[in-house]
Amino acid sequence: MPQMKVLLADDHPIVLMGVREIIERDPRFKVVGEAMSSSELIDKISLLKPDVIITDYNMPGDDQYGDGTRLVEYLRRHFPEPKVLILTVITNAQVLTWLYELGISGVISKSAGLEQILVALDAFYRQGHYQQDQPQGALSEDADDLSQRLSQLTVKEFEVLRLFSTGVSVSDVAHSLNRSIKTISTLKISAMRKLNVDNDQALLILCVKANLFA
């Protein structure tokens, strides 16, 4: 079997360097390109025709294709052939379920270590698919409480908070998601109620504390 061509996307050069180093340990895989924005990623998919795309979930600053759910939807709609691995610290069950329903091939947790990328690529090469294990390990009482509250968020609420936590305004979030300001405000208020926070500062502190959107 020929080498599998892999295209990487992350807005952090150090992450790109680390992922490339891991992948190139195995001669069955070749990193054919790197991208640091969604637009660059889309351009290089068309040019390089990779077998596997490994992309960060959170790559802010790209108005054309966005990131998060908006980017994944675009990738699956316009590039159905390559397998897609998502790099993220997100653990929200509804978001992860939604990603798999869209047709991604796996989620690699940054907190669990990037070595799992090579496990996934090996599975693609030998079996054609990657079967992920469910996360294991006990949570502290505080973490468990936060996890329970986060699990109540819908995919749309989660995406609104993810963008809001980067420091942009509600109007900017509305523009990014192509929704009205009223809709975004309603989703944000609903999410805050579920998370039991009553102001923007408390919401941002919670997002940072939980390291939700790296």
Residue 132 lies in a domain: no
One domain, residues 94 and 181:
no
Domain limit, last residue, from 127, 158, 174: 127
One domain, residues 11 and 116:
yes
One domain, residues 198 and 152:
yes
Domain with residue 42: its CATH number is 3.40.50.2300
DSSP letters spanning 5-65:
EEEEE-S-HHHHHHHHHHHTTSTTEEEEEEESSHHHHHHHHHHH--SEEEEES---S-TTT
Domain with residue 180: its CATH number is 1.10.10.10
Q: Phi and psi of 163, rounded to 5°?
A: -70, -40
Per-residue confidence of the chain (214 residues) as pLDDT tens digits? 789 999 999 988 988 998 999 999 899 999 999 999 999 999 999 999 999 999 998 886 677 888 888 889 899 999 999 999 998 877 777 778 888 888 899 998 877 777 889 889 999 998 888 876 544 333 344 456 777 777 788 888 888 888 887 777 888 888 888 889 999 999 999 988 888 888 887 887 777 666 655 5
Domain limit, last residue, from 127, 150, 172: 127
The count of domains in the chain is: 2
Give the model's pLDDT for residue 213.
57
One domain, residues 181 and 106:
no
Q: Which domain holds residue 87?
A: 4-127
Sign of CA dihedral 146, 151, 157, 158: positive
One domain, residues 105 and 41:
yes
Q: Phi and psi of 190, rounded to 5°?
A: -60, -45
One domain, residues 179 and 114:
no
Give the model's pLDDT for residue 214.
52
One domain, residues 146 and 112:
no
Q: Per this entry, what is the length of the chain?
A: 214
Cα-to-chain-centroid distance, residue 142: 24
Give the model's pLDDT for residue 136.
38
One domain, residues 45 and 23:
yes
One domain, residues 100 and 202:
no
H runs (alpha helix) in 82-169: 93-102, 116-127, 141-150, 155-164
One domain, residues 186 and 123:
no
Q: Quick one: 81 exposed, middle or buried, by C-beta within 10 A (0-12, 13-18, 19+)? A: exposed
Q: Find the angle CA(183)-CA(187)-CA(188) to the nearest 5 degrees.
A: 115
